[in-house]
A and B are shown apart, each in its own frame.
Chain A
Amino acid sequence: MGVCLIGIIASVLSLVLKKDRPEFSLLVVLSAGLIILLLILPAARIAAETIMTISEIAGIGGEYITVIIKSCVIAMITSVSASTCRDAGNSALALKLEIAGRIAIIILAVPVINTLFNIILSVIK
């Protein structure tokens, strides 16, 4: 509820401010985005913890679930910040952010890739 209110107020404010002070309009949008993310953070933590508990109850390798959750979260953060950059008119920067996010995910997945290759090699031998 609060999140929705903040979003609507921020967008109306930025619309009003856009004519006279465009730099303030951008600041309003950015701060509203930050507040929304901060409000959502506890809920996101609860969701991640729930998934981890489920994987623990099922008695399965938590490390892969962690990698998957982390990679999805990195993807989320990257896409949010890249879209913010696009709002600010910096689509080139947004592209670089996305590339950085992809590389981060690949680095995160290095242990998974290693394990996968070892398993495949052991199967072929």
Chain B
Amino acid sequence: MKIILLIILILSGNANAMETEEIISRQLEISGADEIYINDDINFAEIAGDLISFESPSSESIIKMFFEKMFEAVRESISLCLVVILVVMVLNIITNAVGNNAAVFEISFYVCYMVIFMMGTVSFKRATDIARISIDELNFFMKAAIPVLGSLMTASGGVARTAHAGASVIAISTTVSAISNVLFPVSTMSALISGVGCLSGERSLKGFSSALKKASLWGLGIIITIFTTIMSTKSFAAVNLDNVTGRTVKYAAGTFVPVVGGMLSETLGSIIACGRLVKGAAGGASVIVLLYLCLSPMIKLVAIIVAYKFTAMIIAPVSDGRLSGAIEEFTSSIVIILSMVIFTAVMFIICAGIIAAM
């Protein structure tokens, strides 16, 4: 008797587990998570599935990927720095060999400065391109992921919250366009102006360029504040509304449907719970994908910054203060660009987290 009972228990348990898994996989399929294509390395639906079954990607492969990307980025950015160091060295060798008191050497110094300014501008352009592409990728991914998260939200009983997801899409596109259309050009202008300002050796343009830099940082701060405020205040109201709606529906199903009402209400509860699980996993997967997308441009930008700091450090004792000053100005502008990428990524991660947690 006991054995039969046990068998029935195990079977029913298995059946239950099968049912839950089926519900989960069906919900993941219907949500359209399979259709989010990022690139060949990373698959959104797979990550979400792994997260549901508590399988995290192996840390070894992540560390390996991190170092591979870092070395690649350092190798790319070191060549530009070699040019700068070489140009400065050539200039120094020649001017020191003859004596740089002659007025004609000022002109040849300007030529050298132009070459170095060109290198700085090229690498700055590369940095802004990297940042722009990465912000576009983040934006693109978020716009693809929010409908998926929204449909999962509806599946887990959050109708008001789904309406809120639409507002977050608008907030994201406004933020991205503000960053790429206003803040990027402003910081580019500040880098170029400070580069030109260093040529004169006087401080005439320094105030202007630092004002532009501060303006871009302040703009970034204001955008972040507005974005997080919109995201969090809207979600508070929506969560409570949905809780009330969910309870009402469950109560109605349990009370007004005759005979099977209680069972239906329980099934409804389990479907909603599965929906929450899938939504949580999809939110976790979107955070992982966001991290993956912003990691490689961030490594590249950090490599450029490190290489330029290193260059400024090497040439500072052997060169004119104007050259190392210009390189330092470019470095600080690239740091601002990097901070824009980081802030965008953090904002999107907060957004995905809020949606997943609701």
CA distance A85 to B111 in the complex (A): 26
Q: Contact partner of A112 among B104, B118, B122, B192, CB < 8 A?
A: B118
Contact B118 A119 (CB under 8 A): yes
Chain A residues in 8 Å Cβ range of B121:
116, 119-120, 123
B185 to A: closest C-beta gap in Å: 7
A72 with B94: CB separation less than 8 A: yes
Flag if B87 contacts A68 (CB, 8 Å).
yes
Instruction: Tell me the bound Cα distance from A124 to B118 in angstroms.
Output: 14
For A65, give its contact among B87, B98, B103, B124 (CB under 8 Å): B87
Q: Contact at B87–A123, with CB atoms within 8 Å?
A: no
User: Could you tell me the distance in whole angstroms from the C-beta of A107 to the nearest C-beta in chain B?
Assistant: 11
Contacts of B59-115 to chain A: CB distance below 8 A: 79, 82-83, 86-87, 90-91, 93-95, 98, 102-105, 107-108, 110-112, 114-115
Give chain B residues whose Cβ lies under 8 Å from the Cβ of A60. 79, 82-83, 86
B128: CB under 8 A from chain A?
Answer: yes
In the complex, what distance in Å separates the CA atom of A116 from the CA atom of B114? 7
Contacts of A108 in B (CB 8 A): 111
Contacts of B125 in A (CB 8 A): 119, 122-123
Partner of A113 from the list B79, B83, B114, B185 (CB cut-off 8 Å) is B114
Q: How far is the CA of A72 from the CA of B87 in the complex (A)?
A: 12
Q: How far is the CA of A64 from the CA of B86 in the complex (A)?
A: 11
Interface residues on A, range: 35 or more
Does A14 touch B at the CB level, under 8 Å? no
CB contact list, A69-112 vs B, under 8 A: 69, 71-76, 78-79, 82, 98, 101-102, 105-106, 108-109, 112
- Which residues from chain A sit less than 8 Å from chain B, CB to CB? 47, 51, 54-55, 58-61, 64-65, 67-69, 71-76, 78-79, 82, 98, 101-102, 105-106, 108-109, 112-113, 115-116, 119-120, 122-124
Can you give 12 contacting A-B residue pairs, CB < 8 Å? A60-B79, A64-B87, A68-B111, A68-B112, A72-B94, A75-B107, A76-B98, A82-B102, A102-B107, A116-B121, A123-B121, A124-B189
Where the two chains meet, the residues of B that have a C-beta atom closer than 8 Å to any C-beta of A are 79, 82-83, 86-87, 90-91, 93-95, 98, 102-105, 107-108, 110-112, 114-115, 117-118, 121-122, 124-125, 128, 185, 188-189, 192
The 9 nearest A-B residue pairs measured at CB: A72-B94, A79-B102, A71-B108, A75-B104, A60-B83, A75-B108, A71-B111, A109-B111, A105-B107
